[in-house]
Amino acid sequence: MIRDRASLLRMLDAIDDEGWDGPTGTTLLNYLRERVVRPLAISVGLRGAAASQAESTAWQALWVELTKPALRRATSPWGILGQVARRQLLGEIVAARFATNDRRAWKLEVASRDGAVGPAVSLDLLLEAGWEPATDDPDVGDRDPLEAAGLTDAAQRALMLVGWSEQQARSILATVLDAPTTRVDDRTQFPGWRAMATTLGIPAWQARRLMIALRGTSDWPGVLARIVAEGPAVVESPIVRTALMATRRHSDRSPVLAARRAEEALVDALPQRRAS
């Protein structure tokens, strides 16, 4: 399928005659799910059931967008579809983090940057980390609240912990989030890193490793996904630090290999984790 305005308009005209159940509608919807939504879900770090749910939500949003007359008048309809899909996928991440709908979650995400609110936290994870249920004993003082931080703030801090400056970290995150998500061809596994190298003026190897470390791969969740799943404190973990340190030292292994080696070292150091 050729991704240009003329081709999309021709398909929409054909769908007007055939209906969405026709061959053209089926082809277009399958293409959007497999070549637009799914790569984008992977690029933002979604995996497993969360990826499937977010993929369905974004796909539905694209279907609705395709029915709007304004899309046919747009100069770049494919760009609009990409923005809609990205917004929906990120909305699913934020909604899961705050355990609410995406509209409410975006407001909470903004408020969390000032520490006004914090994300929803699993009680099981708190117990495993050593937190205990509240007590009625008046002699026991209140515990300090969980530190709240936004996704981007935590990711920026993670980059700064391994040596990137604050300005560099901001620019890196902005570029990663704006990078294309669909492959130009089968040889392009991580689209956008070449443009990142040019835009930020950094070596190509650093740009590629940054893209991998932050976005992750099909079988390894990146730093952004780990922050969403485990909370901002995960940036202090050896796994995240090791993965991002590979973006600073050319002699290091790739972020994925380095992180996996760090994880294996942790397992070896904790026999009870290895046994489980």
In a domain, 157, yes or no: yes
Both tokens assigned to 248: 């600073």
- Residue 81 sits in the same domain as residue 155: no
pLDDT at 27: 94
Q: Is residue 127 part of a domain?
A: no
User: Which of these, 56, 94, 61, 39, lies nearest to 225 by C-alpha position?
Assistant: 94
94 in the same domain as 154: no
Query: Residue 268: what pLDDT?
Result: 54
248's CB contacts (< 8 A; 6+ apart) are 162, 163, 164, 206
For strands 216-217 and 220-221, give the pairing. antiparallel
Within 13 Å and on the Cβ side, how many CA atoms surround 12?
19
Question: Are residues 254 and 160 part of one domain?
Answer: yes
Task: Confirm whether 235 is domain-assigned.
Answer: yes
- Let me know whether 83 and 163 are in one domain: no
Distance in angstroms (rounded) separating the CA atoms of residues 206 and 261: 20
Q: Is the same domain home to 11 and 85?
A: yes
pLDDT of residue 222: 85
Domain identity same for 166 and 76: no
Asked whether residue 39 is domain-assigned, the answer is yes
Same domain, residue pair 87 and 157 = no
Verify that 50 and 159 share a domain, yes or no: no
* Domain annotation covers residue 33: yes
Answer yes or no: is 21 within a domain.
yes
pTM here? 0.45
126 within some domain? no
Instruction: Looking at the structure, tell me whether residues 157 and 270 fall in a common domain.
Output: yes
Q: What is the pLDDT of residue 270?
A: 46
Residues of the chain with pLDDT under 70: 96-102, 105-149, 180-191, 266-276
What is the biggest distance separating any 2 CA atoms in the chain, rounded to whole angstroms? Answer: 74
Domain with 45, as residue range(s), is 5-98
Domain limit, last residue, from 98, 132, 158:
98
Q: Is 221 helix (H, G, I), strand (E, B) or coil?
A: strand
Q: Do residues 178 and 86 share a domain?
A: no
Could you give the C-alpha distances from 65 to 12, 80, 119, 220, in angstroms and in order?
A: 12, 9, 30, 32
pLDDT for residue 105 = 62
User: Which pLDDT does position 163 carry in this prediction?
Assistant: 92
Same domain, 77 and 191: no
Which of these three, 60, 78, 98, is where a domain ends?
98
For the chain, what is the domain count?
Answer: 2
What is the pLDDT, as a whole number, of residue 53? 82
Q: Mark whether 167 and 266 lie in a shared domain.
A: yes
Any domain includes 110: no
